[in-house]
Amino acid sequence: MAYSEKVIDHYTHPKNVGTLDKSKQNVGTGLVGAPECGDVMRLQIEVDEATGIISDAKFKTFGCGSAIASSSLATEWLKGKTVDQAMAIDNMDIVEELNLPPVKIHCSVLAEDAIKAAINDYRVKNGLPELELEEKKH
């Protein structure tokens, strides 16, 4: 199975690997997937409280190259977006950007789930109601 150039690039030079302080009020953490399924993503956002803009995003991923690339790309896209704009990121955008083959679409779905889980964690921490998420097929 050949990987696209972009997947290889993200895998070789992942962007924003790391950990944010999850105890901070303005940090949202999403942990999705399961070790038994071969994919676990943890995605974190730090929101600038004055502007509502995501000032930083970090990830750590256990998974295949496509899963690592999907989460790396997601953190890049998140930075500079408002939380509402971030909610609009669709897994198919990731599929397109990385040229993921059909068997790897679940990696992009996981990344979208991780974004939404991080946003929801942020919302709950800040007294906002949790957003209802549509179920996507993995």
Partner 1 sequence: MELKLPIYLDNNATTPCDPRVVEAMLPYFTEKFGNAASRSHPFGWAAEEAVDYAREQVAKLINADPKEIIFTSGATEGDNLAIKGVFEMYASKGNHIITAVTEHKAVLDTCKHIEKLGGQVTYLPVAEDGLINLQELENAITDKTILIAIMYGNNEVGVIQPVREISKIARKHGVLFFTDGTQAVGKIPVDVNADCIDLMAFSAHKMYGPKGVGALYVRRKNPRVKVTAQMDGGGHERGMRSGTMNVPGIVGFGKACELCMNEMEADAARLSKMRDRLEKGLLELEEAYVNGSIEHRLPHVANISFKYVEGEGLMMGFNKNIALSSGSACTSASLEPSYVLKALGLGDDLAHSSLRFGLGRFTTDEQIDYTINAIKETVTKLREMSPLWEMFKEGIDLNTIEWAHH
Catalytic center residues: 37, 107
**Beta carbons of 65 and 39 less than 8 angstroms apart:** no
Residues 91-120: x where in contact with partner 1 by CB under 8 A, - otherwise, as a string:
------------x--x---x--x-------
Q: How far from the centroid of its chain's Cα atoms is residue 15's Cα? A: 12
Which of 13, 23, 36, 132 binds partner 1 (CB under 8 A)? It is 36
75 binds partner 1 (CB under 8 A): no
- Tell me if 32 contacts partner 1 by CB under 8 A: yes
Buried b (16+ CB within 10 A) or exposed e, 86-112: beebebebbbebbebeeebbbbbbbbb
Shortest Å, Cβ 86 to partner 1: 20
Q: Under the rule (CB under 8 A), what is the footprint of partner 1?
A: 3, 8, 11, 14, 17, 19, 31-42, 60-65, 67-68, 103, 106, 110, 113, 138
